Amino acid sequence: MLDLENIEKYRENNRIEAKKATGGLPVSLWETYSAFANTLGGVILLGVEEYKDKSLHPVDLTETEWMLRDFREIINDPRRVSINILGSEDVQVREAEGKRIIVINVPRAERDQKPVYINGDPISGTYRRNGEGDYRCTYDEVQAMLRDSLARTPDMAVLTEMDCGVFDSGSIRSYRSRLKDISPDHGLCVLEDEEFLLKLGAAGRDSGGKLHPTAAGLLMFGREHEILREFPAYFLEYREDSGKAADNRIVSSSGDWSGNLYDFFVKVSGRLENDVCVPSEQNGGDSVRAALKEALANCLVNADYYGKEGLAIVRGSGGISFSNPGGFRIGVDTARREGVSDPRNTSLVRMFSLIGAGGSGGKGLPAIFRTWNRQGWSAPVIKEEFAPDRITLSLSIGQGAQNISKSASELRREAVIDYLTYCVSAGIGELSELLGTGTAETGKLTEQLASEGIIVAEEGENGMIYRLKS
């Protein structure tokens, strides 16, 4: 909730937009509504002016009643706005420094509501938020939202223009062997290959009864050059940023292995299990290895393989980052809760879970956070980026880990600065909850930011309060 009595302390950012609106509802209001709904949500302030020094000041709206009437009329007109996602309490007339303004809280839209667009055209009327401004989404961004809005996930599609000759037979044999080792009595183990692929969800039949790969089957067991026919941007990479030779890199395009998801998982999980320095079994080493395998599988099953750029696992001297194309189908905070899950590729989830990889029922990400907490390590850091959509999970290994692709400390600094820009002030407990770290570690970070002149500490009723330095 914004502190409207101290509105001058706020700045426009990724979650706040101020519009003077003394002449009525500005046309750009609807672009911002679309942008906030399709990104992370945000607050639109009508009747607030931005000064040259970027500070915000109320100007007093004298005609709030007809402005609210016009607002409700437009937002409920599907020819103007695709969907109204606001609740009854999300639009209010408030006072700031004794002047009336309109505060519109725009939530992040659910995936089945996206894209939220204006003027009846999702291609030209879909916006997102980037920094302090709104931008019109590209065709590819809109298509990604439309794919995610479907009840059936994209990997269920039967690819009728391909036949099962696209599969790598060695990958299927290896998968079946691993499944039998883990679950020797599973009903899939006794099936012939054709029926096995059908029951697994790796293949499906067309109306004439002919067998074809599904998108999940192609990704899981296909050969790389065949996968590229359906997913032109497909690329998998594991690399070790340790200054050693280039053979510490695994890429799907090398040509000396199949290049599919299953074989990539086997190769990379072997590296993570054997080469990453983790605690002994008595000190939770097995849990750490299981969490790393979980992170790898989650990265693979939640990627948008129709999206831009590839999937990258980067191991540095202090930790590992898992980065995949595609945004969260649910909010980051929701994804961290036990039992809440909405995977992008449900068929891939089942295929990996059958061989003991990938959490089911929303247990994957929360389990990783619990494991790191038990070890006393820096909390995992999740970063969601847009244009193009991308998710990165950064895991520090051991105490004082530093060199992940973008260090966890950098990401935490950014998170604190962004939070204080939006919320003006916060205590140590609030910031610790935001970062997922203990108060001692959060205290070290706030001390560092204060010493650099970025934030200031003030005495509050329940301890120190932190604000951005004016």
Give me the half-sphere count of Cα atoms (radius 13 Å) on the Cβ side of residue 339: 0
Name which of 133, 114, 136 is nearest 124 in CA terms.
136
Count the neighbouring beta carbons within 10 Å of the beta carbon of residue 314.
Answer: 20
CA 279 – CA 285 distance, rounded (Å): 5
> Is the bond leading into 380 cis (omega within 30 degrees of zero)?
no
Q: Token match 């400390």: residue?
A: 409
CATH topology of domain 154-406: Heat Shock Protein 90 (3.30.565)
Alpha helices in 201-258 (DSSP H): 215-221, 224-230
Alpha-carbon gap, residue 213 to 161, rounded angstroms:
9
Query: Domain 413-468 belongs to what topology?
Result: Arc Repressor Mutant, subunit A (1.10.10)
Position 251, amino acid? V
Which of the pair, 205 or 373, is modelled with greater confidence?
205
Rounded Cα–Cα distance for residues 149 and 126 (Å): 14
Residue 139 near residue 227, CB atoms below 8 Å: no
Mean pLDDT of the chain: 86
pLDDT for 84 beyond 60: yes
422 vs 105, more confident: 105
Closest of 381, 378, 373 to residue 397, by C-alpha:
378
CB-count exposure of residue 183 (10 Å: 0-12, 13-18, 19+)? middle
Rounded Cα gap, residues 196 and 188, in angstroms: 6
**pLDDT tens per residue, range 382-434:** 888 888 889 999 998 875 444 444 456 677 787 787 777 656 678 888 888 77
CA atoms within 13 A on the CB side of 335: 22
Q: Write out the two tokens for 442.
A: 């959060």
What pLDDT, in 10s, does the model give residues 339-352?
456 788 999 999 99
Q: Which residue has the tokens 């007093």?
A: 60
| CA-closest candidate to residue 467, choices 429, 430, 426, 428 | 426
Cα separation, 435 vs 415, in Å, equals 8
The whole-angstrom distance between residue 339's C-alpha and the CA centroid of its chain comes to: 17
Which pLDDT score is estimated for 244?
56
Alpha carbon distance 89, 92 (integer Å): 7
Predicted confidence (pLDDT) at residue 377 exceeds the cutoff of 50: yes
Classify residue 60 as exposed, middle or buried by CB count within 10 Å of its CB (0-12, 13-18, 19+). middle
Name the amino acid, one letter, at 415. Answer: A
- For the segment(s) 4-138, the CATH number from 3.40.50.2300, 3.30.950.30, 3.10.20.520, 3.90.1660.10 is 3.30.950.30
Domain boundaries, the chain: 4-138, 154-406, 413-468
Token pair 């905070």 is found at 333
Is the overall model pTM greater than 0.85, yes or no? Answer: no
